Structure 1
Amino acid sequence: MGCSFSGLNALYDTVGGRGGDVWVNDYHFRVLRRLGDAGPAGSSVFLVKEVVAAATASDGTAGSEPGASGIAGKKGIDPSHISADGTYALKKVLVQSDQHLELVQQEIRVSSQFSHPNLLPLLEHAIVAVKDGSQNYEAYLLFPVHLEGTLHDITKTMLEKKEFFPTITVLQIFRQLCSGLKHMHSFDPPYAHNGVKPDNVLITQRKQSHLAILMDFESAGPARKTIRSQAEALQLQEWASEHCSSHYRAPELWECPSHADIDERTDIWSLGCTLYAMMYGKSPFDYELDESSGESLHSVIKNVQIKWPEEAGSTYPDSLRQFITWMLQPHPAVRPHIDDIIIHVDKLVMKYSN
């Protein structure tokens, strides 16, 4: 069925504040408001509320409870991802080329394989041709909504106030990211996220704890790549420059040898940078660039000179800094795997829980 044309109009009207209804396949939503942009130009996210027909009572009259025909009744969805109030996030992507269409289809294929509480699930999707005579498409991707923001949003606000997460909170959030990545790395062959960074971590406060969810699988794909020529190395570097955030990109993706075996440990580098940013509000190489004179980002990352901000110097133990240094090994062959990281972080959680 795809996304109905009246639904397309509803999304456009919402930008002007008029709202409207939209169908994505068999599911009906009311557009509440625009949440913001997402990813490349032409991508926007909307807050929508599901409209579910009332269930029919045994006497044939309409009941007051929602029926099982909505998203909640769809098979294979973890109940924890079903919204209590029927609100979801709907991502609209304007697809203007065959290459972009292939990337969107790849994102859908990859993200549909994952089922884990710390990975943002794709609940429903539709790709439809735009009915304006052009060759363009529009893609609609439905996700659970988390309105409290990303790890980047939270750490930026905290940095402005000169506030920092307690050590145990840092470890608990980080442990959840490790759990989500382990799910991806455990596939055969393994998948790499390729975009681990604070901007792609949703944080929701639940009672006394934080729920961390890794999102955005636009760049995710098979992790292991065999490079056997300069042409293949340059092709990988070009891909990484387009799809991997520079401040969180592993050294082997900046300067790939002509004979190399790339694997999922590119994510471990990004994970180490993300842990640093969780503690100090910036990637380790943002701090180094701030203090260096004219050095390029590539040079700073290649030299792996990590600065530890003095303003939070007494906040975190040396064991946490050593943990980051372990992940930021410039040579991927000696960088730890996700299972090694989880063993170590579990020990740290136990140590600092008391």
Structure 2
Amino acid sequence: GGSHVDLVEGLRDGRFYALKRILCHDKEDRQAALHEVEMHGLFDHPNILRLVAHCMVEKGTKHEAWLLLPYVKGGTLWSEVEALREKGTFMPEQRILLILCGGVGGAQQPFSDVHPCRDLKPTNVLLDEDDRPVLMDLGSMNRARIEVNSSREAMAVQVVPSQCVIDEGTDIWSLGCVLYCMMFGEGPYDAIFQKGDSVALAVQNPIAMPTTTR
């Protein structure tokens, strides 16, 4: 598929919204887009981006799923981390705790409903004007326990062996990676990924803490 996000303005209320357009080449893509819509509909939580409206638009032989979402002016957590890194500074620890606690609040409701996020990362966390984190991009959300029985299924979730069970613990692990990113300005496996080495092998080893002091 693939998706694009446009900034749009409501004709009636004058508010800005984010219009996510998901390109659907076939029936499988359409089902995936509708799954994301369904996941949005499960939650009413201040730390989870709400879905304002949606529709499926025909584009010749293809379709586009349009998801109308609130516009969060602060941008993503990753863009904030990058901006601080370019200035040669780190995010204050008190701010990290505030964002982390807010993020946990948003992630706990999917846990209770047995629907973990499964794609928790700095690029999928928005920050509003008050630094309140808002989780977005719920397309990977699914039932809590999934058995992986083949290398193809393992590739779909990127960093797991071909025989394992994926459960709600994946979000706890991902939350730790988000914390690491806020603390040190990069993810624990960014350097490995940039070198082209195997992230799947790297996650099986202890994380080396940076020698750089904050």
TM-score by length of 2: 0.91
Asked whether 1:96 is paired with 2:25, we answer yes
Q: Which runs of 5+ in 2 are unaligned?
A: none
Matches within 5 A, 1:164-203: 164-187=90-113, 190-203=114-127
For the residue of structure 2 that corresponds to 1:162, the secondary structure is coil
Deviation of 1:299 (Å): 2.6
Asked if the contact 2:73/2:129 (under 8 Å) is kept, the reply is: no
Q: Bigger radius of gyration, 1 or 2?
A: 1
Deviation of 1:91 (Å): 1.1
Q: Which residue in the other structure is 2:80 paired with?
A: 154
Q: Distance in 2 between matches of 1:111 and 1:49?
A: 21
For the residue of structure 1 that corresponds to 2:204, the secondary structure is helix
Matches within 5 A, 1:4-83: 41=2, 43-52=3-12
Q: Which residue in the other structure is 1:326 paired with?
A: none
Percent of residue pairs bearing the same amino acid type: 31
Deviation of 1:219 (Å): 1.0
Q: Which residue in the other structure is 1:254 paired with?
A: 160
For the residue of structure 1 that corresponds to 2:186, the secondary structure is coil
Q: Deviations over 1:239-291 (max 9, x none)?
A: 213xxxxxxxxxxx52143xx4431001111110011001111111225x39x
Q: Distance in 1 between matches of 2:125 and 2:200?
A: 24
Q: Distance in 1 between matches of 2:45 and 2:107?
A: 10
Equivalenced residues, count: 213
Select 2:145's aligned residue among 224, 233, 237. Answer: 224
Give the letter for the 1:223 counterpart: A
Select 1:121's aligned residue among 50, 57, 69. Answer: 50
Give the letter for the 1:236 counterpart: E
Q: Deviations over 1:60-106 (max 9, x none)?
A: xxxxxx6xxxxxxxxxxxxxxxxxx5211111122111111111011
Q: Which residue in the other structure is 2:170 paired with?
A: 266
Q: Distance in 2 between matches of 1:44 and 1:226?
A: 31
Asked whether 1:277 is paired with 2:181, we answer yes
Select 1:306's aligned residue among 187, 208, 214. Answer: 208
Q: Distance in 2 between matches of 1:223 and 1:306?
A: 29
For the residue of structure 1 that corresponds to 2:106, the secondary structure is helix
Q: Which runs of 5+ in 1 are unaligned?
A: 1-39, 53-65, 67-84, 242-252, 313-354
Q: Which residue in the other structure is 1:204 paired with?
A: 128
Q: Deviations over 1:154-197 (max 9, x none)?
A: 1011112111111111011001111111010101xx11211111
Give the letter for the 1:126 counterpart: C
Asked whether 1:239 is paired with 2:168, we answer no
Give the letter for the 1:100 counterpart: D
By relative contact order (CA 8 Å, sep 6+), the higher-ranking structure is 2
Q: Distance in 2 between matches of 1:216 and 1:50?
A: 22
Q: Distance in 1 between matches of 2:211 and 2:46?
A: 33
Shift in CA distance, 309/148, structure 1 to aligned 2, threshold 3 Å? farther
Deviation of 1:295 (Å): 5.4
- RMSD in angstroms over aligned alpha carbons? 2.1
Q: Deviations over 1:195-247 (max 9, x none)?
A: 111000111232xxx111111011111121245xxxx2434303213xxxxxx
Asked if the contact 1:280/1:309 (under 8 Å) is kept, the reply is: no
TM-score by length of 1: 0.56
Asked whether 1:107 is paired with 2:36, we answer yes
Give the letter for the 1:174 counterpart: L
Shift in CA distance, 311/160, structure 1 to aligned 2, threshold 3 Å? farther
